[in-house]
Amino acid sequence: MNFLNLPTWMNKLASRNIAAPLIIILLLSMMILPLPAIILDVLFSFNIALAILVLLIGLQTKKALDFIAFPTVLLVTTMLRLSLNVASTRVVLTEGHSGPAAAGKVIEAFGHFLIGGNYTVGIVVFVILTIINFTVVTKGAGRIAEVGARFTLDAMPGKQMAIDADLNAGLIGEDEARRRRIEIGQESEFYGAMDGASKYVRGDAVAGIMVIIINIVGGLIVGMVQHDMAFADAVKNYTLLAIGDGLVAQIPSLIISVAAGVVVSRVANNEDIGGQLMTQLFSNSRVINITAGIIAGMGAIPGMPHFAFLMLASVLAGMAYLIGEQKKTTEAEAVLDNKPEVSTEIEEASWDDVTPVDVVGLEVGYRLIPLVDKGQGGDLLKRIKGLRKKFAQEVGFLAPTVHIRDNLELKPSSYRVTLKGVEIATGESHIGQHLAIDPGMVTGSLPGAMTSDPAFGLPAVWIDPNIRDEAQSMGYTVVDAGTVIATHLNHIISLHAAELLGRQEVQQLLDHISKESPKLVEDLVPKLLSLSVIQKVLQNLLAEGVHIRDMRSIVETLSEHAAQTQDASELTALVRVQLGRAIVQQLFPTGNEVAVMTLDNNLERMLMQAMQNNSTTGAAIEPGMAETLSRQTEAAAKQQEQLGMTPVLLVSGQLRATLSKFLRRAVPHLRVLSHEELPDSKTIRVTSLIGGQA
């Protein structure tokens, strides 16, 4: 075999799924078969090297899931130490009478190193090491894993809701959402496995104490009874071997326990544990200076070791000075880089100074500038691109580009959304905090500034990021400052989709359709309908929340009926009937049952008579009847929303357009359907009767 290709050979070995069974068989064989001293030396050395390797990997991880195999590693290393204990105990008891080197050089060396000529001290130190491992390191790591498993499991619903919110807002795609859901499941399984695996390590610490006692007692019996050794010689040989054997197993155990504590106790960010410690302990020169002053004061106290304290204070003061100078240099360079160039020459006014009004604009206060600055890690621009892409895929046309600029007239943490230069929405977002939104089923309250979700008006509270998991475990939907703005902007764009569809967008839509069906578009525009009529039809659909993705069906319907009527409202009604299946699917995505509200027969008859007797919409409904209709519809719609259903009113085709326009102000989320728009495959279930007797 070519040893230069050893990594490739090992990968092939692992790929055949024989590595794990082979390891288990070897561990069990070590417990049963006798091993010579030289093999024990190699295995004890490998055990120490493996423990150091695991610790270093744990220190380099940036989050717990980077070392997802750690629970299995804990189990395997624990079984390795126990197998070595069994194998070494056999050698100690059978060959211990021949001298301290009977069980190998590693055990002898560790025994001499720890005992140092005093067996009592050696035993005490070994017991202390075992107690530290058992009661401090292992118990603490196990407790952290247990609490982490519980809180991770409690926080899963909130995290799942946050992923769904980001997905619906277009901030992430399906692949990213799937990856996050898998990561949440892995996180829960990891902490649960760590909670169980830590019990192995604790049991290993207890077994270490019991093994050393058994080795000493058993060695004295074997040495004095079977080999006729003197008591002093038996104590010397078997105590040294027992302590060396216990120490060579407990040191790797302690290292593994520390690695477990490091992995489960760290808070995930983009730095490993070394980077976190250096950044957070030695980045504030003022704190280091204060520490240096306190240490120097302690060194000046009579009777204190002046040299040690004063030298340490000098080192700390030097570190603080260097850190402060480095920080000043960095800030100065940042100021120079951001300093704008000032032009002293005033140019003549030109047509370039006349800028068109932005169709959609986002203005932010100066504290929110980092969210839109890529140089400062802002990702709001990327999220807005994702929103436009998701809007185009769902609604059916590409929304205009969102122009972002800072506005010093706004409050530092405020923002506003403009449509064609007019403010249509405002809100606040606080960098460095998270918004915990109450969806209506939370189990507790949180400390922070109470507010409302700017997009949907739900109760919310601004919280510190370090209690995010706690908030999610209580049922809150937690989003960061950038997501608050992105979600609000997405909601506003969806509400005003009809106003965003200009003639240019309509022409681009028709050009896109003509690539696949050029004859279809050519026969419609401008032979049968003008571009303005088509724009009005599409705007009517968007105003009532109907997506226009199926442009082929829309164009075919307009081509079919354009010869009979040029009225945009009548054409809209005909298109809605053609899109009926898609409209109902949009409102009721699952099941064949359609839960709707309807009008009482007498009320519907009166409304139709009123419309026939009046030519204008404004006078079509008598004021008293209009007020009653609006009030009862609003109450029925709220009842529908409380049941988790979309409020839908089913009326006759003659009333649909009028009632939709009239009731839209009172009940913005109400959708009005006509009987002609319902597919035959759907079953109607009436949930509320409007205008009937109470």
Give the pLDDT confidence of 578-637 residue by residue, as tens digits.
999 999 998 888 888 899 999 988 888 888 888 777 644 444 577 778 888 889 999 999
In 3D space, the residue among 458, 455, 509, 583 whose CA is nearest the CA of residue 168 turns out to be: 455
Alpha helices for 169-272 (secondary structure H):
174-221, 231-265
Does 681 score more than 90 pLDDT? no
d(CA 630, CA 638): 12
Query: Which CATH architecture describes the domain 357-497?
Result: 3-Layer(aba) Sandwich (3.40)
- The pLDDT score that the predictor gives to residue 2 is 47
Given pLDDT bands bounded at 50, 70 and 90, which one contains residue 186? confident
d(CA 486, CA 166): 9
Structure tokens at 670: 């109400």
What ranges do the domains of the chain cover?
17-269, 282-325, 357-497, 501-578, 588-694
Average pLDDT over residues 186-204: 71
Give the pLDDT confidence of 306-325 residue by residue, as tens digits.
777 788 888 888 887 887 77
Proportion of the chain in helix, strand, coil states, percent, rounded to 5: 65, 10, 25
- Mean per-residue pLDDT of the chain: 80
d(CA 127, CA 116): 16
Give the pLDDT confidence of 431-443 residue by residue, as tens digits.
989 999 998 888 8
- The pLDDT score that the predictor gives to residue 4 is 47
d(CA 260, CA 242): 27
| Distance from the Cα of residue 173 to its chain's centroid | 14
d(CA 538, CA 557): 12
d(CA 421, CA 175): 36
Give the pLDDT confidence of 207-241 residue by residue, as tens digits.
777 777 777 778 778 777 777 777 777 777 777 77
Average pLDDT over residues 657-685: 89
Give the pLDDT confidence of 114-160 residue by residue, as tens digits.
566 566 777 777 777 777 777 777 777 667 666 766 766 677 777 77
- The pLDDT score that the predictor gives to residue 148 is 67
Count of CB atoms within 10 A of residue 345's CB? 4
Instruction: Count the alpha carbons within 13 Å of 501 in the hemisphere toward its beta carbon.
Output: 29
The string of DSSP codes covering 78-127 is HHHHHHHHHHHHHHHHHHGGG-GGGG-HHHHHHHHHHHTT-HHHHHHHHH
Q: Does residue 415 contact residue 427 with C-beta atoms inside 8 Å? A: yes
Across the beta sheet with 683-690, what order do the strands follow?
671-674, 648-651, 593-599, 683-690
Place of tokens 């209009």: 626
Q: Does residue 611 contact residue 658 with C-beta atoms inside 8 Å? A: yes
CB neighbour list of residue 281: distance below 8 Å, 6 or more residues apart: none
Given pLDDT bands bounded at 50, 70 and 90, which one contains residue 8? low
Range 15-28 burial, b when 16+ CB lie within 10 A, else e: eeeeeeeeeeeebe
Which has more confidence, 104 or 226? 226
Range 426-463 burial, b when 16+ CB lie within 10 A, else e: ebbbbbebbbbbbbeebeeebebeebebbbeeeebbbb
**What class has domain 588-694?**
alpha beta
Query: Which CATH architecture describes the domain 501-578?
Result: Orthogonal Bundle (1.10)
d(CA 513, CA 523): 13
